Structure 1
Amino acid sequence: MTSSPFKNICIYGAGALGGAIAAKLASSGDQAKVSVVARGAHLDAIRSGGIHLWEAEASNALVAQVTATDDAGELPPQDLVITGLKGHQLAAAVPGIAKLLHAGTRVVMILNGVPWWYFHRDRQSGHAEHQMEELDVNGGLWRLIGPERVIGCVAYQGAEVANPGEIRLSNKGHFILGEPSGETTSDIEAIAALLQKAGVTVSISARIRDDIWSKLMGNAAFNPISALTRGLMSDIMNDPALSTMVGQVMSEVKAVAEALGSHVPMSVEERLERSRQIGPVRTSMLQDLLAGKALEITPLVGVVVSLGKLTGVATPVSATILALVTQLDRKNLQVAG
């Protein structure tokens, strides 16, 4: 078997998802050097005792030792960078991520919502290389990271930092990787093999944008509505008015996706029925709200509205939710500050 070309791997943003991947990579038996960029009490705990990862229904934690820092400049150039940051956190991380890059570095970005690189090498929408200012203020990501380095990633993995240095997964999970071009390159095959060896379930998609929109149908509805109501997903689906609103948002997201040339195979009715089976889940936006953190609004809701304007698709329900959750975020941060 050919050895992996990725000898130095950094997980930038080793929170729940990033930390879980770091722990699995560091424990896989591969010869790669795994490092993480984290901060605060979580960083201190990782430095002192490693990452403690509890898989779903596991009786014992996996404990992984990794090099941990809050200053990417302390690390050598990396062959592979995996970001575990949310879309609204990326701009501030650009200088740090840029320090880790050499000419051939690939960057896997695990993101919810529409990513900043979305239109790079896009053959579906008619808007190839269009840059979205709201996702990449002043173009820092495009210039200093470069969309040509990026491999997209859609994650279906429930994860939470239970305590500093301790991560718990709620399901087995599944990660979808895709080159913006849709090609199956040697890089993406090597990254998929590396993650699979580490026990991560991975598939490669030739149409990663379709996968992005398929997940966003749920996130664009449940995340902001849960933050506005403090409701769990089961609470929302058990309320007729709220579940109707969820369906309206899903319809708007699907319409925008299709106007951009994407195919979302699941109907709104099918997606609603699946959502009824999920149970009392607290969304990531509700978690952030309760923790006094900034909310991931633009990639999940704001871009649906702006791309609706770009394509001429009406998004009235999403626009209303955007206005409400933006004000909620502003007031919540004032209280937390």
Structure 2
Amino acid sequence: MKIAILGAGAIGGYLGVRLAHAGQAVTFIARNRNLESIRTNGFCLIGPDGSREVATNVQATDNMAEAGPQDAVFLTVKAQQIGNLLPQLRALLGPETMVVSMVNGVPWWYFQKLFGAYEGTQLESVDPGGQISHVIDRDRVIGSIVYPACELMEPGVVRLIEGNRFTVGELDGVRSPRLERLSQVLMGAGFKAPVSRDIRSELWVKLWGNLSLNPISALTHATLEDICRYAPTRALVANMMSEGQAVAEKLGVVFRISLDQRIAGAEAVGAHKTSMLLDVEQGRALELQALVQAVIELGRITATPTPALEVVHALCGLLEQTYLSQKAAIRPVLLN
């Protein structure tokens, strides 16, 4: 299978190395030092035990037209980065190309093929003006829930912390031949790739934690176990998760675990920094639109109050604005 990976970072690198070793034709869409490293040295995956796997049988480019039409395009970038990829993305799309959405949070396609009162509703928080939907036809999209934890150590080098599960599902819940083929390709690379008939409900179980633990960690610089073991923040997590659950249930989502079980699961992960906390530490833009703002928008669509989410979203937004503006002010001084 010809597979282009848009986002040659932690998750994209993990997928690409394993898929290449399994005999798939992998092309990384990368930039700058990451691109140079992959072209020169291949992509290196460091396992939890310190073992190294290097995939040299991969292609890497910053020009999607050079890669050409693919069988599958894996979107492993952050949600807010998709818009910048759209001008070139068409070059990767052939008549039957699948676009596998592996972004965190509420995706742009949430209401596509969701039969009922909200079908076709556009989410401005994650797809302003419908720009993504205009380029990526809904019939191409396959949803995926990403469970592994990985870290990009340096250009072209990823460390796997834990996990190998990537759930996949059609937006309408059909178990299609292309979905079966995708699942088989992932399993052939050593991943668990269960096929879901209700990808949105599984999406919400992960989002449940992301909408609460990620922004709280960004504000407090605390790890998952610290947040869950400090009574006031644990109570805030529960409050935010309750608001999210109320929104999701109005959209027909069924939660198969309890709120307390979800929090306990996060606590059991231990002294783990969320991706949003790592973004704060690195001075990068936060995934607020897909993880928090979109849930608030869904609350407005379903007439469900989300006061705790709105407060935390405002605080994180100001935090992001403050350090990004400081970073911008420092840059001209450094250049001089």
Q: Flag whether TM exceeds 0.5 (same fold).
A: yes
TM-score bracket, normalised by the shorter chain, equals over 0.9
Aligned-residue identity in percent: 36
Residue 187 of structure 1 is matched in structure 2 by: 178
Structure 2 counterpart of 1:195, one-letter code: L
- Please give the residue correspondences for 1:1-337 in structure 2 after superposition, counting only pairs within 5 Å: 6=1, 8-28=2-22, 30=23, 32-123=24-115, 126-337=117-328
Kindly provide the CA deviation profile for residues 194-253 of structure 1, in whole angstroms up to 9, marking residues without a partner as x: 111011111110000001111101000111101111111122112111111011111111
Instruction: Quote the Cα distance in structure 1 between the aligned partners of 2:45 and 2:85.
Output: 25
Instruction: Quote the Cα distance in structure 2 between the aligned partners of 1:149 and 1:246.
Output: 35
Instruction: Quote the Cα distance in structure 2 between the aligned partners of 1:76 and 1:269.
Output: 47
Residue 3 of structure 1 is matched in structure 2 by: none
Kindly provide the CA deviation profile for residues 232-290 of structure 1, in whole angstroms up to 9, marking residues without a partner as x: 11221121111110111111111111010111111111112222211000100111111
Instruction: Quote the Cα distance in structure 1 between the aligned partners of 2:104 and 2:93.
Output: 23
Instruction: Quote the Cα distance in structure 2 between the aligned partners of 1:228 and 1:180.
Output: 34
Structure 2 counterpart of 1:192, one-letter code: S
Residue 163 of structure 1, CA deviation: 1.3
Instruction: Quote the Cα distance in structure 1 between the aligned partners of 2:284 and 2:266.
Output: 26
Structure 1 counterpart of 2:32, one-letter code: G
Structure 2 counterpart of 1:117, one-letter code: W
Q: Matched residue of 1:221: which SS?
A: helix
- CA distance change for structure 1 residues 243 and 64 in 2, over 3 Å: closer, same or farther? farther
Taking structure 2 as the reference length, what is the TM-score of the superposition? 0.95
Instruction: Quote the Cα distance in structure 1 between the aligned partners of 2:257 and 2:107.
Output: 21
Instruction: Quote the Cα distance in structure 1 between the aligned partners of 2:51 and 2:77.
Output: 28
Q: Is the 8 A contact 2:240 2:308 kept in 1?
A: yes
Structure 2 counterpart of 1:53, one-letter code: L
Residue 44 of structure 1, CA deviation: 1.3
The structure richer in helix per residue is: 2
Residue 139 of structure 1, CA deviation: 1.5
Residue 58 of structure 1, CA deviation: 4.3
Structure 2 counterpart of 1:269, one-letter code: D
Q: Is the 8 A contact 2:65 2:88 kept in 1?
A: yes
Query: Any gaps of 5 or more consecutive residues in structure 2?
Result: 329-336
Residue 61 of structure 1, CA deviation: 3.1
